[in-house]
Chain A
Amino acid sequence: MQAAFFGVIAFLSILSAILMVMNRNPVRSALFLVANFALLAVLYLTLAAQFIAAVEIIVYAGAIMVLFLFVLMLLSLGASHALRERGGLQPLVAIILGLIFLASLSAAGAIGTLGPGQATPQWVKNGGTVKAIGTALFDPRLPWLFPFEVTSILLLVAVVGAIVLAKRRV
């Protein structure tokens, strides 16, 4: 039953991803991406990673994609004209980058630290909770605290940069 469920969700998420790429209407494209994120969140849930699932929806489907849509709607203003950019280097670059991404994903899977037999149900259950992730991120004995703080500074810089750019234009 779990396998069937996974199959359905995986199929739907791949379908929505394909539709997202194939659709010529940018708004619909974005909405398919939202659907894709939601389905991915469901997949995370089946892996007992509730925190990741919630964050996936809050951050990607709820905030980032809505902002995307926001901009798209303001720009296209009702007239649903399709994206005109065709040809050029874009598809080629996209394919190459996609292959590189696939290769790195497979490499990561191959050299991952998770040995066989390690992913017991109990381990999975404890690994995905908010508490586990919080402890992992903020425990000074683990190596993740520094990168985490650096990332937040990076985000802060990005925010300040955005404001500076926006202000300069006004």
Chain B
Amino acid sequence: MATELKNYNTASAQAQGIQIDPIDEQTMVINMGPQHPSTHGVLRVILELDGENIVNATCHIGYVHTGIEKEGEFQTYLKAVTITDRLDYVSASINNLAYTLSVEKLLGVAPPPRGQYLRVMLCELQRIASHLVWLGTHALDIGAMTVFFFAFREREKILDLFEMMSGVRMMPSWIVPGGLRGDAPEGYFERVKAFVDEFPYRIEEYETLIDQNPIWLERTQGIGILTPEECMALGVSGPTLRATGVPHDLRKAVPYCSYDQFRFEVPIGKYSDVYDRYRVRMAEMRQSREIIKQALENMPDGPFNVDDRKVMPPPREELDHSMESVIHHFKWWTEGIHPPVGEAYVPVESPKGELGFYLVSNGSNYPWRMHVRGPSFMNLQSLATMAKGRLIADVVAMIGSIDIVLGEIDR
């Protein structure tokens, strides 16, 4: 009847090659994860506790290693788009965009304005969806379960929008080198408009639940403080960096994808604690909504894909009367695209921070090297710095506040 279960302690940790040096016998080593409800996947944190106070926190990653980086080198440029979805699986479109921009830089092309605006719209919807997942899980970690359901209710609507456009809810792969896989379907903008009009009330709903709640404030204010210098040293980016008061947003700093044509603000925090990160992300959702609104209002007409037969396949009509188009069509679908020899890195502002794909091309239709600069990986480094001397409950709040997705860490 009894199932054998091993007890985890300092000795067994050392047997696994993990260095733990308990300060004295009063401390307890506790293994948080990889199976733990609040490690956002399979993060493993080894905590050395004195009562409930944390003496040391060591992160261990690699439990969801997918080999996406290496896999990217064995897929043609077009096929690799679908595996980028699986990196940060709650913001798939933005991963697509980061990869696509690097490929387009290698190719030296850029889609026409409509393509750019559609991309911006998709990415900002995705940013809201990602932040909603963050909000829900973060609140769940702190113990407010209802926020989770409310946040996922709106995320559901965004996923419906993705489904309407691409047929896929979480992994659209709709942004590809050269433009998008297709235009917005009929009635799409009206539905996005309806969402955008409704969303501010929804944000207010979340805020009424948690913003003025004294327990929430107590739990988040003054917790997990990171100075701007520490952030720079650790490579922390995104809302976590902006919460320290550094207005660094790649959409402003190095505008890509025609972000320079949009009016939006970069929300920053002041005290760089968990609460400020929450405030920054809530403000970012509002700004993203503004951007989507502007994209809808100023959506240009015309083509949305690069008019280059080497990059995008010809439209269906042409195949009936043009032999050249048929050849292009065949070559594109079988071989894909052949960027010239070179390397490219285009960072984009993902919901988590700076996301970029470093691609090296040797002229073939496969990238010679693909490296991902994932923001979650860098941001996670800050956990040990933040956690020392705090309580277990704070660690949970901190993990939530830096918004990590393990798929991006263990690529």
A: residues with CB less than 8 A from B are 74, 77-78
Instruction: State whether the Cβ of B3 lies closer than 8 Å to any Cβ in chain A.
Output: no
The minimal Cβ–Cβ distance linking A55 to chain B, given in whole angstroms, is 31
Chain A residues, Cβ within 8 Å of B28: 77
Instruction: State whether the Cβ of B51 lies closer than 8 Å to any Cβ in chain A.
Output: yes
Q: How far is the CA of A97 from the CA of B67 in the complex (A)?
A: 72
The minimal Cβ–Cβ distance linking A77 to chain B, given in whole angstroms, is 6
Instruction: State whether the Cβ of B208 lies closer than 8 Å to any Cβ in chain A.
Output: no
Describe B's contact surface by its main secondary structure.
loop
- How big is chain B's contact interface, by range? under 10
The minimal Cβ–Cβ distance linking A151 to chain B, given in whole angstroms, is 32
Pairwise interchain contact A78-B51, C-beta atoms closer than 8 A: no
Q: How far is the CA of A133 from the CA of B51 in the complex (A)?
A: 41
Chain B residues, Cβ within 8 Å of A77: 28
Chain A residues, Cβ within 8 Å of B7: 78
Q: How far is the CA of A77 from the CA of B7 in the complex (A)?
A: 12
The minimal Cβ–Cβ distance linking B345 to chain A, given in whole angstroms, is 49
Q: Please, what's the 1-or-0 string for B143-157, where 1 marks a CB less than 8 Å from any CB in chain A?
A: 000000000000000
Query: Nearest A residue to B7 by beta-carbon distance?
Result: A78
Q: How far is the CA of A78 from the CA of B10 in the complex (A)?
A: 13
The minimal Cβ–Cβ distance linking B147 to chain A, given in whole angstroms, is 34
Q: How far is the CA of A78 from the CA of B28 in the complex (A)?
A: 10
The minimal Cβ–Cβ distance linking A64 to chain B, given in whole angstroms, is 21
Q: How far is the CA of A78 from the CA of B7 in the complex (A)?
A: 10
Query: Nearest A residue to B28 by beta-carbon distance?
Result: A77
Q: Please, what's the 1-or-0 string for B22-33, where 1 marks a CB less than 8 Å from any CB in chain A?
A: 000000100000
Chain A residues, Cβ within 8 Å of B51: 74
Q: Please, what's the 1-or-0 string for B46-85, where 1 marks a CB less than 8 Å from any CB in chain A?
A: 0000010000000000000000000000000000000000
Q: How far is the CA of A86 from the CA of B28 in the complex (A)?
A: 28
Query: Nearest A residue to B27 by beta-carbon distance?
Result: A77
Chain B residues, Cβ within 8 Å of A78: 7
Query: Nearest B residue to A79 by beta-carbon distance?
Result: B9
Within 8 A of A (CB), among B1-54: 7, 28, 51
Q: 3 A-B contacts, Cβ less than 8 Å apart?
A: A74-B51, A77-B28, A78-B7
The minimal Cβ–Cβ distance linking A81 to chain B, given in whole angstroms, is 11
The minimal Cβ–Cβ distance linking B13 to chain A, given in whole angstroms, is 15
The minimal Cβ–Cβ distance linking B290 to chain A, given in whole angstroms, is 50
The minimal Cβ–Cβ distance linking A26 to chain B, given in whole angstroms, is 16
Q: How far is the CA of A77 from the CA of B51 in the complex (A)?
A: 10
Chain B residues, Cβ within 8 Å of A74: 51
The minimal Cβ–Cβ distance linking A27 to chain B, given in whole angstroms, is 16
Shortest beta-carbon contacts, A-B, top 3: A77-B28, A74-B51, A78-B7
Q: How far is the CA of A74 from the CA of B27 in the complex (A)?
A: 10
Within 8 A of A (CB), among B79-116: none
Q: How far is the CA of A74 from the CA of B51 in the complex (A)?
A: 8
The minimal Cβ–Cβ distance linking B201 to chain A, given in whole angstroms, is 48
The minimal Cβ–Cβ distance linking A70 to chain B, given in whole angstroms, is 11
Q: How far is the CA of A77 from the CA of B50 in the complex (A)?
A: 11
Query: Nearest B residue to A78 by beta-carbon distance?
Result: B7
Query: Nearest B residue to A75 by beta-carbon distance?
Result: B26
Q: How far is the CA of A78 from the CA of B12 in the complex (A)?
A: 15
Q: How far is the CA of A74 from the CA of B26 in the complex (A)?
A: 9
Q: How far is the CA of A78 from the CA of B49 in the complex (A)?
A: 14
The minimal Cβ–Cβ distance linking A169 to chain B, given in whole angstroms, is 13
The minimal Cβ–Cβ distance linking B97 to chain A, given in whole angstroms, is 50
The minimal Cβ–Cβ distance linking A93 to chain B, given in whole angstroms, is 29
Q: How far is the CA of A99 from the CA of B51 in the complex (A)?
A: 40
The minimal Cβ–Cβ distance linking B37 to chain A, given in whole angstroms, is 22
The minimal Cβ–Cβ distance linking B398 to chain A, given in whole angstroms, is 25
Q: How far is the CA of A77 from the CA of B10 in the complex (A)?
A: 13
The minimal Cβ–Cβ distance linking A15 to chain B, given in whole angstroms, is 28
Within 8 A of A (CB), among B126-151: none
Query: Nearest B residue to A74 by beta-carbon distance?
Result: B51
Q: How far is the CA of A78 from the CA of B51 in the complex (A)?
A: 13
Q: How far is the CA of A77 from the CA of B28 in the complex (A)?
A: 8
Query: Nearest A residue to B51 by beta-carbon distance?
Result: A74
The minimal Cβ–Cβ distance linking B357 to chain A, given in whole angstroms, is 47
Q: How far is the CA of A74 from the CA of B49 in the complex (A)?
A: 12
The minimal Cβ–Cβ distance linking A68 to chain B, given in whole angstroms, is 17
The minimal Cβ–Cβ distance linking B102 to chain A, given in whole angstroms, is 51
Q: How far is the CA of A78 from the CA of B25 in the complex (A)?
A: 13
The minimal Cβ–Cβ distance linking A166 to chain B, given in whole angstroms, is 14
Q: How far is the CA of A26 from the CA of B178 in the complex (A)?
A: 72
Q: How far is the CA of A68 from the CA of B225 in the complex (A)?
A: 37
Q: How far is the CA of A77 from the CA of B27 in the complex (A)?
A: 9
Q: How far is the CA of A74 from the CA of B7 in the complex (A)?
A: 17
Q: Please, what's the 1-or-0 string for B362-392, where 1 marks a CB less than 8 Å from any CB in chain A?
A: 0000000000000000000000000000000
Q: How far is the CA of A74 from the CA of B28 in the complex (A)?
A: 10
Q: How far is the CA of A60 from the CA of B28 in the complex (A)?
A: 29
Query: Nearest A residue to B25 by beta-carbon distance?
Result: A77
The minimal Cβ–Cβ distance linking A125 to chain B, given in whole angstroms, is 48
Q: How far is the CA of A77 from the CA of B24 in the complex (A)?
A: 13
Query: Nearest B residue to A77 by beta-carbon distance?
Result: B28
Q: How far is the CA of A78 from the CA of B11 in the complex (A)?
A: 14
The minimal Cβ–Cβ distance linking B105 to chain A, given in whole angstroms, is 56
The minimal Cβ–Cβ distance linking B356 to chain A, given in whole angstroms, is 46
Q: How far is the CA of A74 from the CA of B53 in the complex (A)?
A: 13
